[in-house]
Amino acid sequence: MNKKIAVEEGSGNVFADIGLPDPEERLAKADLAIRISETIRARRLTQTRAAHILKIDQPKISRLLRGQLSGFSTERLMHFLTLLGRDIEITVKRAPRSRRHGHVRVVATA
């Protein structure tokens, strides 16, 4: 009994694929939150210590680390990364001719 399952290739942005509004902003915020989480883990910070460094309370750190990002702007997440000792570079470049509109993405280096 071989059942075939239809598979559709994603766009690379799950938020766009499921039809949420502002998918590029959501993806950028998720990527920034991942970098914050990785930095907190790499520095072996407790949530309490991370909250002190980021000047927010521990429950907000918990929400951030669980991906609940509705109360955090992209700018605020970038500020958190700078407080954690990370540099942020913003590069603006021309989109390829194959696309009408540009994209926003977060790229992390070691």
The token duo for 108 is 């992390």
H helix or E strand, kind and range, residue 77: helix 74-83
Residue 57: domain span: 27-83
- Can you give the pLDDT at residue 42? 96
Residue 107 covered by a domain: no
Residue 106 covered by a domain: no
- Can you give the pLDDT at residue 82? 96
Residue 43 covered by a domain: yes
Residue 82 or 19, more confident: 82
State the Cα–Cα distance between residues 26 and 22, nearest whole angstrom: 6
- What's the total number of domains in the chain? 1
Q: Rounded mean pLDDT of the chain?
A: 90
Domain holding 69: CATH number?
A: 1.10.260.40
Q: CB within 8 A of 89, min separation 6: which ones?
A: none
Residue 44 covered by a domain: yes
Q: Average pLDDT of 64-85?
A: 96
- Full DSSP string of 5-57: -------S-HHHHTT-SSHHHHHHHHHHHHHHHHHHHHTT--HHHHHHHHTS-
How much is the CA Rg of the chain, to the nearest whole Å? 17
pTM of the model: 0.82
Residue 66 covered by a domain: yes
pLDDT at 10 over 70: yes
- Can you give the pLDDT at residue 1? 66
Burial of 110 (0-12, 13-18, 19+ CB in 10 A): exposed
